[in-house]
Structure 1
Amino acid sequence: DLAVLESMHLALENIVNAVFDRSNDIAEANAEIQFALCRTFEGLLQQFISLKWTEPALVEILVRYLEAMGLFLKYFADAAGSVINKLFELLTSLPFEMKDTSTLSARHARLQICTSFIRLAKAADKSILPHMKVHLLKYPSLNSCN
């Protein structure tokens, strides 16, 4: 059900924040637990990245799930590159020309991707900057997200 998919990213974001917020000691209490949690989130992230959704409504949902992993990316910068690559892949797969109302959902998905870049940059701190620079140099036409 699409409504369930749309709402569950908030639950994921809350879980990620609870686990990776360094102001609490949930995951730091035991290195074995922390390692298991990290492997679980890495696996989940790989599942998200492997999705080949092209329908704008589904792209928008997928982007929200990737965004929910923001705090995880702050501490596991190696994963940040995969997320940024996926976001650029999704951004470039959507139609750019917005001439009629039938492309309104694609526009919403593109705006969600651009918003997610900003939110991930805030959550993941500096871990995504090198990956962003690579893509912005590769696709100069994307320097303006609108």
Structure 2
Amino acid sequence: MLEALRPKASTSLKELTRLTAADSQHLLYPSALKEPVLLCLARDLRMIERLSFEGGELDAPLAPSLFVVCELLMRPGTKYHASGQFQMTETGLARAIKALQCAVEREIVSRIVGISSELDEDDFFLAELDGIQCEEEADR
């Protein structure tokens, strides 16, 4: 039954960039993503995760996941928003992508079972992203 939901294509970077027009990064929060985009992103993130364990060539586009992470790290209200730039290690980026994957998968489960967490999942995810960036700065 759930197999019918399985996406057949990768996440559309064009669709993601359209969502962020006019500083509307909140539309990239997992809770705000439409189901087709959410499922495609989950597929891409799972393929990236498999690559990290198996090695080899990446057959899923990394750009959509990177785009979402970067846009949310530079969302209005963060210290990176004004400058439009930040620096992150490969390890930090891997952790940020993993945080995105967890948030996306939790959102899918919440929608399927019809029960959301007591946490504000978006706030929890954004705090996780911000924490990763702060740890990165502390390590420099």
Instruction: Settle same-fold status: TM greater than 0.5.
Output: no
| Higher helix residue share | 1
**Scaled by the length of structure 1, what TM-score is found?**
0.28
Q: Calculate the TM-score normalised by the size of structure 2.
A: 0.29
